[in-house]
Amino acid sequence: MKSTIILLAAVASVYAQSQPYGQCGGVNWNGATSCTSGWTCQYSNPYYSQCLPGGNNNPGGGGNTVTVTVTSVTTNWVYSTVTDYETVTETTTEYEGSCTTTGNPEPSGCDATRTFDLLGVNEAGAEFGTAIPGTLGKDYTWPTFDSIDYFLGKGFNAFRIPILLERAAPPSGDLKDPGTYDQGYLSGLYQTISYITLNGGKAIIDVHNYGRYNGDFIDVEGFGNFWQALSQWTNFNENVIFDLMNEYHDMDNGLVFQLNQAGLSAIRSTGATNLILVQGNMWSGAWHWVDNNDMLKYLTDTANNMAFEMHQYLDSDGSGTDENCESETIGAERVESATRWCEDNGVKCFLGEFGAGPNDVCAAAVNGLLCALKSSDAWIGATWWAAGPWWPSTYFQSIEPPNGRAVDVYVPILESYL
């Protein structure tokens, strides 16, 4: 296969100096190459240098000189001149192995010797509603301990907890100022993650904001400040996992890269080494990942404890709004290219959301999906969408015990992969 680079389309800074955690250098970057006082422009890779705390201010990414030749280039630029290049050699291998769905338990062809590091559910509720800040019990809710106990008792160990950024950091204050954050809302988060981790589970804090804050794209510096503060406050054990942002969409890829790098760098600046989950553009869909998020392989994590989070639903448009699935094999088919990407780049990946209707076709498709994930060392696990106490009885993906519509069909299937 021909090697292809998709260059990072960076967002030019309107400031004379780049903001904290902002970009300050890289291929085709024409914005500021120095940082505000007390911040240093540090080189990450040929496509990205970032303003980080402390040190000398080296313009242009620490004085690194890159001379490159491109095997082939795919560009979709607002700029007309490219002066820096990188030699890239990529080898792709066809996905090997097949999973034949046979119903419940898991399909034949799965690797029986391999287990997921993380397998569990999303516990939705704290991100519900549009009222800001909203009232607990009226506009939003937290998962119940009974629900958490149910899944822990079955052997599941991962609980993804969506939160709403505007409730954690009300717009009436300042995202950049942790002193204005809502400690009442955050105390609900702390209680939830404390219960999960003290009882042996992994708590995934998911900022469920789609790349937006208060009706606009999130500010890079403010995003870094938020994660720096939150990771300091919640880094009481290694069982807390930081999920930077849920489902970026309809955004410039350069901004998605900058926000992810800001979150990574901000958390690592506190000394935290916890697992960080990074999502991509186009709703972080696994079936579109390679076409939209290839540039994220250049993200830098000083603790080397990062995984790329993707989502995948199995209805016709991949939105998860129709309880009918395309086919019994659609699950494995939709993660095939993403699996190759994870393997070819030597990175870890995680399926943060997946779900389907409680019917025979979808059950076979979900089995095939999980089998495909289990058959590759790249995938560290998955969490079903969704549990949570406020799902209506009609919601076809509800796995909230004891009576969610998906419980009887999908809890046994998920258990078979423990």
Amino acid at 188: G
Contacts of 336 (CB under 8 A, 6+ apart): 95, 372
Helix (H) or strand (E) holding 228: helix 220-234
Vertex 307: Cα angle to 143 and 292 (nearest 5): 105
Contact (CB, 8 A) for 202 and 158: yes
Q: How far apart are CA 220 and CA 261, in angstroms?
A: 9
pLDDT tens digits, one per residue of 246-297? 999 999 999 999 999 999 999 999 999 999 999 999 999 999 999 999 999 9
Q: How far apart are CA 382 and CA 50, in angstroms?
A: 31
CATH number for 150 = 3.20.20.80
Residue 242 counted as domain residue: yes
Tell me, yes or no, whether 337 and 223 share the same domain: yes
pLDDT tens digits, one per residue of 323-354? 999 999 999 999 999 999 999 999 999 999 99
Tell me, yes or no, whether 131 and 81 share the same domain: no
Residue 112 counted as domain residue: no
Q: What are phi and psi of 141, to 5 degrees?
A: -150, 165
Tell me, yes or no, whether 77 and 122 share the same domain: no
Structural domain tally of the chain? 2
Domain range for 347 is: 118-415
| Mean pLDDT along residues 287-315 | 97
Tell me the C-alpha to C-alpha distance, in Å, between residue 324 and each of 244, 284, 288, 344: 31, 21, 20, 32
Tell me, yes or no, whether 10 and 144 share the same domain: no
Tell me, yes or no, whether 81 and 172 share the same domain: no
User: Which of 236, 221, 251, 294 has the alpha carbon at shortest distance from 52?
Assistant: 221
Residue 111 counted as domain residue: no
Tell me, yes or no, whether 264 and 395 share the same domain: yes
User: Which of 81, 10, 4 has the alpha carbon at shortest distance from 45?
Assistant: 10
Q: Which of 166, 323, 353, 400 is catalytic?
A: 353
For the whole prediction, is pTM greater than 0.75? yes
Tell me, yes or no, whether 161 and 43 share the same domain: no
Tell me, yes or no, whether 156 and 226 share the same domain: yes
Highest mean pLDDT among 20-24, 230-234, 280-284: 280-284
The residue that leads in pLDDT, 56 or 91, is 56
The residue count of the chain comes to: 418
Contact (CB, 8 A) for 205 and 158: no
The reported pLDDT for the residue numbered 55 is 54
| pLDDT exceeds cutoff 50 at 74 | no
pLDDT tens digits, one per residue of 389-413? 999 999 999 999 999 999 999 999 9
The reported pLDDT for the residue numbered 28 is 67
Residue 158 CB-half CA count within 13 A: 28
Residue 101 counted as domain residue: no
Last-in-domain residue among 72, 91, 110:
91
The residue that leads in pLDDT, 374 or 236, is 374
Residue 391 counted as domain residue: yes
Residue 107 counted as domain residue: no
Q: Which of 221, 247, 323, 343 is catalytic?
A: 247
The reported pLDDT for the residue numbered 23 is 85
Active site residue 323: no
Contact (CB, 8 A) for 382 and 116: yes
Computed over every residue of the chain, the mean pLDDT equals 85
Tell me, yes or no, whether 35 and 162 share the same domain: no
Tell me, yes or no, whether 55 and 137 share the same domain: no
Q: How far apart are CA 118 and CA 374, in angstroms?
A: 11
Active site residue 353: yes
Residue 282 counted as domain residue: yes
Residue 122 counted as domain residue: yes
Dihedral angle sign, alpha carbons of residues 178, 183, 186, 192: positive
User: Which of 328, 336, 388 has the alpha carbon at shortest distance from 357?
Assistant: 328
Tell me, yes or no, whether 82 and 163 share the same domain: no
pLDDT-derived band at 19, boundaries 50, 70, 90 = confident
| Mean pLDDT along residues 40-64 | 64
Tell me, yes or no, whether 85 and 124 share the same domain: no
